[in-house]
Amino acid sequence: MTLTDDSFDPLYAAAHPAPLDSVTLYSAPLIIPVTGPVIMDGAVAVAGSRVVHVGTRRWVLDTLKQDMSAHGHIEEHHWHGIITPGLVNAHTHLQYTNMAEVGRGSYSSFRDWELGFNPVYERLCKEGDWKTSAEQGARMMVEAGTTAAADIVTDAEAAGALASQGIHGVAYWEVMDWHNDDWRNAGVHELVRHLGRMRQEDLPSIGISPHAPYTLETAPFVDLPDIARQLDMRLHIHLAETPMEAGERETTLSTYSTASWRDHDWTSYQQLKEAGKGASAIQFLDQLGSLGPDVHIAHGVWADAEDRRILRQRGVGVALCPRSNRITVTGRDAPIREYLEEGNLLAIGTDSLSSSPSLDVLDDVAVLYDLAREQGYAKDDLTHRLIRMMTLGGAQELGMHVGAGRIGQINAGAMADLAFFDVPVYVATPRGIEDTLEELVCHGAGTNRATVISGRIAYNDGAW
C-alpha cells in the first residue's frame, strides 16, 4: 500500500508506529506478564506511559533496533529479582490509615470491633484531617508495589488519595445508614452533591459503594445500581461479611427457594430475616437487581454454594480480605477452596489499617495460600491463581483489564505499571521456577523495591 504525504491510515499507523526517541528497558531474570508465560532473562520496553514490548531481553533489544529513531536512546535498568505487573488492591479504605489503633485491638465479635471503631472514627471526624490520612495510605500502597485500588471514602477530602500518587483505580463514595423514607427525601440529593464534588477533583474514576445490607434498607439497593449505571459508574458492596447475612438453604437453587418471599415488598433484609425466610444477603440483593458485572463485593465470607453460583452467573467478583476477617471477627474464613474450584472471579484486598496490620497485598496473599491448603485445595496451580488474583483479577473487578488503559498485565500497549520484588530467583529448572513463584506468594510481602506507574518511577528504594 502506498501512502501519500497528506494521507493518514490509522490502521497502518498502529501497525507501524513512529520511530521511538526514548525507551526505558527494565530487565530481570524472571518477568511475570500474567497474560503470557513467565519469561526468563526477560525485559520490558517502556515508552511514555505504555509498554512497547515484553519478551526475552535479546528479542526485545533486537526488535527495538527496528523501532528506534536514528538518534533514539535506550536506558536500561536491570533488576536482580522478579518483575510483575503493579499489584491491585481490590478493597481498601485509605481514609482510615490513621485508625491503626483500632486494627491493633482484640475483639470478641464483629459488633465488638464496631464498638471499637466508632469512637475513634467520630474523634477523627472532629479533627478533620482525612486527606492526609488517605494520602499516607496511598503512599504505603505504592511502596508495597500496588499501582491500582478500589478505595472507599466517606469524606470528600479523602477522595483524591489515589490521584495524589498517580494510582489507577476507582474512588467509591460509600452510602450507608439510610432508611427508605429518609433516602427518598434526602439521601439521593446528598449522594448527588457528594458525587458532584468528587467530579471536581482530579480522580482516576468515581464509583458508588452501597455499604451493606445491615446498614441500608431496600430502597437504596434498588436505586443506587440504577443511578450508577446511568452515570457509567461501578459499584462495590460489603457483602456476606457477617453471620447475619448467611442463608439457610445451601443446596437449593434460589429459583425455587425465593418463591415464598420474592414478590413481597420488604422494607429491609433485616425484616426478611426476622420473618424466618432463610434467604442470604446475596440472594436478597440479587432479587433487587443490585448485582451484575459492573459490581464487585468485599469479603464474601458467608457465601454458600447457591450464593457462589449467583455471583458467577451475574459476573460479580469477590475481593478477599482474610486478615481483616480475622481482626473484625467475621466468624469464619472465606470458602477459598470452593471459590477456586468452582471458578469464581477473585481478587485480593487489604481493607484498611482499622482492620488490618498493613496495606501490602502480599501479606493477604500469603494468608490465602495457607487457607487454601488448609481447606483442602490440593492442585499445583495455587501460586499461579494467587498471582492472577493480585494483578489481573483485581483489574477485572475494577473493569480495567481490557482496552487502552488496561492494567494488571504486561503486554504491548498496556499501561506500564510494574513492581520489582527482591526475592531469590531460580530459573535453571521448571521446579526452580515454581519454587520462585511460591517464594513470591508466601514470602514476598515487604520485598518490593521499586514501583513504576504509567511509565513513571513512583518509588525506588535503591533498585537501580
**pLDDT for 258-277, tens place per residue?**
988 999 999 999 999 999 99
Residues of the chain above pLDDT 70, percent:
97
Mean of pLDDT values over 250-257: 82
Those residues with Cβ within 8 angstroms of residue 334's Cβ, 6 or more apart along the chain or in another chain: 299, 300, 301, 303, 318, 320, 322, 325, 371
**pLDDT for 79-122, tens place per residue?**
999 999 999 999 999 999 999 999 999 999 999 999 999 999 99
Those residues with Cβ within 8 angstroms of residue 22's Cβ, 6 or more apart along the chain or in another chain: 47, 72, 73, 75
**pLDDT for 168-197, tens place per residue?**
999 999 999 999 999 999 999 999 999 988
**pLDDT for 4-54, tens place per residue?**
455 667 776 666 677 999 999 999 999 999 999 999 999 999 999 999 999
Pick from 106-110, 249-253, 263-267, 395-399: least confident: 249-253
Q: Which helix (H) or strand (E) holds 153?
A: strand 146-153
Quick one: which of 82, 54, 87 has its CA closest to 169?
87
Give dist(CA 113, CA 59) in Å, integer: 54
Beta strands in 48-127 (DSSP E): 50-56, 68-78, 82-85, 87-92
Mean of pLDDT values over 281-308: 97
Give dist(CA 350, CA 358) in Å, integer: 7
Residue 316 clears pLDDT 70, i.e. is over it? yes
Long-range CB pairs of 411-414 (<8 Å, 24+ gap) are 411/33, 411/35, 411/36, 411/51, 411/54, 412/51, 412/52, 412/53, 412/54, 413/50, 413/51, 414/50, 414/51
What interhelical angle do 188-199 and 218-230 show, nearest 10?
A: 30
- β pairing state of 82-85 and 87-92: unpaired
What pLDDT is attached to residue 248?
87
- Name which residue leads in pLDDT, 301 or 201: 301
What pLDDT is attached to residue 5?
53
What pLDDT is attached to residue 1?
42
Those residues with Cβ within 8 angstroms of residue 168's Cβ, 6 or more apart along the chain or in another chain: 147, 148, 149, 162, 204, 400, 405, 407, 415, 417, 453, 454
Helix (H, G, I), strand (E, B) or coil at 175: strand
DSSP 208: E
- Name which residue leads in pLDDT, 359 or 252: 359
Please state, rounded to an integer, the average pLDDT across all residues of the chain: 94
Helix (H, G, I), strand (E, B) or coil at 56: strand
Q: How confident is the model at residue 323 (pLDDT cuts 50, 70, 90)?
A: very high
Q: Locate 324 and state its grid cell.
A: 481483616
For residues 213 and 269, the answer to whether their CB atoms sit within 8 Å is yes
- pTM of the predicted model, to two decimals? 0.95
The residue type at 29: P
Question: Cell match 517464594: residue?
Answer: 439
What pLDDT is attached to residue 3?
46
What pLDDT is attached to residue 8?
66
Quick one: which of 204, 147, 163 has its CA closest to 450?
147
Q: Locate 395 and state its grid cell.
A: 483489574
Quick one: which of 340, 418, 329, 407 has its CA closest to 108?
329
What pLDDT is attached to residue 16?
64
Those residues with Cβ within 8 angstroms of residue 433's Cβ, 6 or more apart along the chain or in another chain: 30, 38, 40, 426, 427
411 alpha-carbon distance from chain centroid: 20
Question: Cell match 526517541: residue?
Answer: 21
The residue type at 454: S
Give dist(CA 130, CA 125) in Å, integer: 8
What pLDDT is attached to residue 9?
74
Mean of pLDDT values over 277-298: 96
Residues of the chain above pLDDT 90, percent:
89
Helix (H, G, I), strand (E, B) or coil at 46: strand
Beta strands in 300-339 (DSSP E): 317-320
What pLDDT is attached to residue 416?
98
What pLDDT is attached to residue 217?
97
